[in-house]
Amino acid sequence: MESTPVNWEALDALLIDFAKSENLIEEDSSAPSPSSSSYHSRLLIRHIRRSLHTGAIDAAVHLLHLHAPSILTDQKILFRLHKQKFIELLRKGTAEDRESAIQCLRTSLAPCALDAYPEAYEEFKHVLLAFIYDKNDNTSPVANEV
């Protein structure tokens, strides 16, 4: 099966249109024209996406908190961000990062799993397997997440 490359500019424009229609982001009143506001929004989305791809979940959450705080009220998105942060900490593999993962689990991921959406608690239990299996174990049931 051949994959089609993603047109990131088109996807970003779609995200911006949706976010504006749902009042998730505010128009930049100091922007001289709509195109510069749109350009700023695309840069912001690209920066958030890059943070997520590199595992810098806290940086992505911080940007969302500053520029689109209403997105973080969505419990499903918040749960997935906490889950990804947990996985990224385990992926690093140091003892200190494992402790941080446990702290993330206790303070963020577990409480959010109870309220996010019906399947979230099952996902939460599944992701706990990442503690048991080595991150390099391809037979792990969570190998695709780690």
Rg of the Cα atoms in the chain: 18
Is residue 59 a part of any domain in this protein?
Answer: yes
| Whether residues 19 and 48 fall in one domain | yes
The number of distinct structural domains making up the chain is: 2
| Whether residues 57 and 19 fall in one domain | yes
d(CA 62, CA 44): 12
Domain span at 46: 8-70
Contacts 24+ apart (CB under 8 A), 123-131: 123/79, 123/83, 124/83, 127/83, 127/86, 127/87, 130/86, 130/87, 130/90, 131/90, 131/101
What is the CA angle 104-43-66, rounded to 5? 45
What is the CA angle 105-79-115, rounded to 5? 95
Site of tokens 């947990």: 86
Is residue 51 a part of any domain in this protein?
Answer: yes
- pTM (2 d.p.): 0.71
Per-residue pLDDT of the chain (146 residues; tens, 9 = 90+): 456 676 777 777 777 777 777 776 655 555 444 456 777 777 888 888 889 888 899 999 999 998 888 888 889 999 999 999 999 998 888 899 999 999 999 999 999 998 888 888 888 988 888 877 666 666 656 655 65
| Whether residues 45 and 91 fall in one domain | no
pLDDT at 31: 46
| Whether residues 83 and 53 fall in one domain | no
Tokens (6 digits) for 95 = 């003892």
| Whether residues 110 and 63 fall in one domain | no
d(CA 61, CA 74): 13
